[in-house]
Structure 1
Amino acid sequence: MLLSDLLDAPVRDSDGRALGYVVDVRLVLDGPLDGVLAAPRLHGLLVSPRTGTSFLGYERTDENSPALLARWLRHRHRGTFLVLWSDVVRPDHAPGPRDDEQAVTLRGGYHRWDPALPRP
C-alpha cells in the first residue's frame, strides 16, 4: 500500500457510517535499523470530519504563525482525531455510496486520540 492510497480516503466505522477523510498519517521510527535510522512504522491516521485537505503542519501544538492561517486551519479541522493503525480493519475497499470507492474501515470500539503532536 502506498501513502497516496490512504490520503483523502473516506473513513467509515464498523457500521459503515462516514467519519471523515484521512488527512495525514503518523509514523514512528521504531523498526529495525535501516542504515542510520530505524525503519518507519505506520502508527496511525489523522481523520478530519470536514475536509480531505492537509493541516500543513499546524496540528503541532507550537505552530501558530502566521496566526490567521493557523487559526483558520485549526477551525477548518476541528473535530479531527488520530486513530491508531491497530484500529483499522480494512485499509482498502469497504462498502460505500459508490461501489468503486476506496475507504478505510475502523473496528468497533476504536478510540479517538488527540491529533496534536506532543512537545519533545
Structure 2
Amino acid sequence: MILSDLLDTPVRSPSGDPLGFVVDMRLVLDGPLDGGLLVQPRVHGLIVSPRTGTSFLGYERSDVRSPAVLARWLRWRHRGTFLVHWEDVATADADAVVLADGYRRWSPAFPEGAHRRS
C-alpha cells in the first residue's frame, strides 16, 4: 500500500465507532542511512480530522496565521483534529483505519505533537 492511499480513509475506534478521516501523515527521518546521505523515513503517525477528509495545508504544524482568513477558516474546519501514533494503529487498509485498544490522541502541532497530548 502507498501511504497516499490512506488519505481521506475513515478512522474507527477499536469498537468500530467513527472518529474521522486521515488528512495527513507525519513522517520522521531518524532511521539509519540508506546509502549515501539519505535517511529512510518512517511513519510517525496519522493526522485525523473528525469532520472532513480535506487537507489542513500544514496549518496544524506551527503558529502560521496568514493569510488570516484562510488560517482561521482551516483551524475552525479542523477543530478536534488529532495525531495518533503509528504504533496505535491496529489495521490500515483502503477501507478503514482501525485504532488499537488504548490508543492516545496527541496534538497535531509540529514538532510538539510528538510530545504533547491534546
Confirm whether residue 113 of structure 1 aligns to residue 106 of structure 2: yes
Residue 14 of structure 1 is matched in structure 2 by 14
Confirm whether residue 80 of structure 1 aligns to residue 81 of structure 2: yes
Question: What is the aligned length?
Answer: 111
Residue 49 of structure 2 is matched in structure 1 by 48
For residues 68-107 of structure 1, what are the structure 2 equivalents within 5 Å? 68-92=69-93, 102-107=95-100
Residue 39 of structure 2 is matched in structure 1 by 38
TM-score (norm 2): 0.89
Residue 28 of structure 1 is matched in structure 2 by 28
Q: Secondary structure at the match of 1:51?
A: coil
Quote the sequence identity (%): 70
Residue 99 of structure 1 is matched in structure 2 by none
Q: Deviations over 1:28-63 (max 9, x none)?
A: 001221231311000000000000000111112221
Question: Is the contact made by 1:51 and 1:77 (CA closer than 8 Å) also made in structure 2?
Answer: yes
Give the superposition deviation at 1:6.
0.7
Higher strand share goes to which structure?
1
Instruction: Report the residue type matching 1:90 in the other structure.
Output: T
Instruction: Report the residue type matching 2:109 in the other structure.
Output: A
Give runs of ≥4 in structure 1 deviating > 2 Å.
Answer: none
Q: Deviations over 1:52-101 (max 9, x none)?
A: 000111112221110110000000000000000000000126xxxxxxxx
